[in-house]
Structure 1
Protein backbone atom coordinates (compact mmCIF):
# COMPACT_ATOMS: atom_id res chain seq x y z
CA UNK A 1 0.00 0.00 0.00
CA UNK A 2 1.01 3.63 0.04
CA UNK A 3 0.77 6.63 2.30
CA UNK A 4 -0.82 9.77 0.87
CA UNK A 5 0.57 13.03 2.20
CA UNK A 6 -1.24 16.15 1.06
CA UNK A 7 1.74 18.39 0.41
CA UNK A 8 2.62 21.03 -2.19
CA UNK A 9 5.69 20.59 -4.37
CA UNK A 10 6.68 24.22 -3.77
CA UNK A 11 5.74 26.40 -0.81
CA UNK A 12 2.68 28.55 -1.47
CA UNK A 13 3.49 32.23 -1.22
CA UNK A 14 1.17 34.90 -0.01
CA UNK A 15 -0.28 37.48 -2.36
CA UNK A 16 1.03 40.90 -1.43
CA UNK A 17 -0.62 42.97 -4.17
CA UNK A 18 -3.71 42.65 -6.32
CA UNK A 19 -3.12 42.59 -10.08
CA UNK A 20 -6.46 42.18 -11.91
CA UNK A 21 -4.88 42.44 -15.39
CA UNK A 22 -2.51 39.54 -14.71
CA UNK A 23 -5.34 37.49 -13.19
CA UNK A 24 -7.47 38.09 -16.29
CA UNK A 25 -4.61 37.03 -18.59
CA UNK A 26 -4.00 33.82 -16.62
CA UNK A 27 -7.70 32.88 -16.59
CA UNK A 28 -7.96 33.58 -20.33
CA UNK A 29 -5.03 31.26 -21.07
CA UNK A 30 -6.58 28.41 -19.10
CA UNK A 31 -10.26 28.72 -19.90
CA UNK A 32 -10.64 31.01 -22.90
CA UNK A 33 -11.42 29.89 -26.45
CA UNK A 34 -7.70 29.83 -27.29
CA UNK A 35 -6.64 28.40 -23.95
CA UNK A 36 -4.95 25.17 -22.99
CA UNK A 37 -8.15 23.38 -21.98
CA UNK A 38 -9.90 24.17 -25.26
CA UNK A 39 -6.90 22.99 -27.29
CA UNK A 40 -6.56 19.72 -25.39
CA UNK A 41 -10.27 18.98 -25.75
CA UNK A 42 -10.05 19.65 -29.50
CA UNK A 43 -7.22 17.13 -29.84
CA UNK A 44 -9.13 14.60 -27.76
CA UNK A 45 -12.28 14.88 -29.89
CA UNK A 46 -10.33 14.68 -33.14
CA UNK A 47 -8.65 11.50 -31.93
CA UNK A 48 -11.87 9.49 -32.15
CA UNK A 49 -12.51 10.41 -35.80
CA UNK A 50 -9.03 9.68 -37.19
CA UNK A 51 -9.03 6.87 -39.77
CA UNK A 52 -5.27 6.20 -39.53
CA UNK A 53 -4.07 4.43 -36.34
CA UNK A 54 -0.70 6.26 -36.38
CA UNK A 55 -2.45 9.64 -36.46
CA UNK A 56 -4.76 8.53 -33.66
CA UNK A 57 -1.71 7.55 -31.59
CA UNK A 58 -0.07 10.92 -32.27
CA UNK A 59 -3.15 12.81 -31.04
CA UNK A 60 -3.25 10.61 -27.95
CA UNK A 61 0.36 11.49 -27.15
CA UNK A 62 -0.11 15.26 -27.44
Structure 2
Protein backbone atom coordinates (compact mmCIF):
# COMPACT_ATOMS: atom_id res chain seq x y z
CA UNK A 1 0.00 0.00 0.00
CA UNK A 2 1.14 3.53 -0.71
CA UNK A 3 -0.12 6.69 0.96
CA UNK A 4 0.20 9.86 -1.14
CA UNK A 5 -0.02 12.36 1.73
CA UNK A 6 -0.55 12.44 5.48
CA UNK A 7 -4.13 12.12 6.62
CA UNK A 8 -4.28 12.18 10.42
CA UNK A 9 -8.07 12.31 10.39
CA UNK A 10 -8.30 8.97 8.61
CA UNK A 11 -5.55 7.59 10.84
CA UNK A 12 -7.60 8.64 13.86
CA UNK A 13 -10.65 6.79 12.51
CA UNK A 14 -8.54 3.67 11.94
CA UNK A 15 -7.46 3.65 15.58
CA UNK A 16 -10.87 2.18 16.45
CA UNK A 17 -10.27 -0.67 14.00
CA UNK A 18 -6.81 -1.15 15.50
CA UNK A 19 -7.55 -1.27 19.21
CA UNK A 20 -11.21 -0.50 19.77
CA UNK A 21 -13.83 -2.81 21.25
CA UNK A 22 -14.58 -4.35 17.85
CA UNK A 23 -11.06 -3.92 16.46
CA UNK A 24 -8.39 -6.40 15.45
CA UNK A 25 -6.69 -6.58 18.85
CA UNK A 26 -9.96 -7.35 20.61
CA UNK A 27 -10.87 -9.96 17.99
CA UNK A 28 -7.49 -11.68 18.39
CA UNK A 29 -7.98 -11.74 22.15
CA UNK A 30 -11.46 -13.22 21.86
CA UNK A 31 -10.34 -16.02 19.54
CA UNK A 32 -7.28 -16.70 21.69
CA UNK A 33 -9.26 -17.01 24.93
CA UNK A 34 -11.87 -19.19 23.22
CA UNK A 35 -9.05 -21.39 21.96
CA UNK A 36 -7.57 -21.72 25.43
CA UNK A 37 -10.84 -23.05 26.83
CA UNK A 38 -11.57 -25.39 23.89
CA UNK A 39 -11.04 -29.08 24.62
CA UNK A 40 -11.36 -30.40 21.06
CA UNK A 41 -7.87 -30.25 19.48
CA UNK A 42 -9.18 -29.48 15.99
CA UNK A 43 -11.36 -26.59 17.11
CA UNK A 44 -8.60 -25.34 19.43
CA UNK A 45 -6.14 -25.24 16.51
CA UNK A 46 -8.69 -23.47 14.32
CA UNK A 47 -9.37 -20.80 16.94
CA UNK A 48 -5.64 -20.24 17.51
CA UNK A 49 -5.10 -19.95 13.74
CA UNK A 50 -7.87 -17.35 13.51
CA UNK A 51 -6.34 -15.44 16.45
CA UNK A 52 -3.00 -15.41 14.63
CA UNK A 53 -4.67 -14.11 11.47
CA UNK A 54 -6.34 -11.33 13.45
CA UNK A 55 -2.90 -10.31 14.74
CA UNK A 56 -1.69 -10.04 11.14
CA UNK A 57 -4.64 -7.72 10.46
CA UNK A 58 -3.52 -5.67 13.48
CA UNK A 59 -0.08 -5.32 11.90
CA UNK A 60 -1.60 -4.17 8.59
CA UNK A 61 -3.92 -1.61 10.18
CA UNK A 62 -1.09 -0.34 12.39
CA UNK A 63 1.20 0.07 9.39
CA UNK A 64 -1.47 2.04 7.54
CA UNK A 65 -1.95 4.32 10.56
CA UNK A 66 1.79 4.98 10.69
CA UNK A 67 1.87 5.78 6.96
CA UNK A 68 -1.09 8.15 7.27
CA UNK A 69 0.59 10.01 10.15
CA UNK A 70 4.06 10.21 8.59
CA UNK A 71 5.00 13.85 8.21
CA UNK A 72 1.79 15.11 9.85
CA UNK A 73 3.63 16.85 12.76
CA UNK A 74 1.25 18.45 15.19
CA UNK A 75 -1.90 17.49 13.30
CA UNK A 76 -2.55 14.26 15.20
CA UNK A 77 -4.55 15.84 18.03
CA UNK A 78 -7.01 17.52 15.68
CA UNK A 79 -8.29 14.17 14.38
CA UNK A 80 -11.12 14.30 11.85
CA UNK A 81 -11.95 17.96 12.44
CA UNK A 82 -9.70 19.01 9.55
Choose from 2, 19, 43 the match for 1:31: 19
Distance 1:52 1:31, change over 3 A: same
- How far did residue 18 of structure 1 move? 4.6
Match of 1:6 in 2: none
Cα RMSD after superposing both structures: 2.2
1:20-59 residue pairs with structure 2 within 5 A?
20=9, 22-59=10-47
- How far did residue 17 of structure 1 move? 4.9
User: How does the TM-score come out when normalised to structure 2?
Assistant: 0.50
More helix by share: 2
> Which of the two has higher C-alpha Rg?
1
Question: 5+ residue gaps in structure 2?
Answer: 51-82
User: How does the TM-score come out when normalised to structure 1?
Assistant: 0.64
Structure 1 residue ranges (4+ consecutive) displaced by more than 3 angstroms after TM superposition: 15-19
For these two proteins, the number of residue pairs brought into alignment is 50
Distance 1:19 1:54, change over 3 A: same
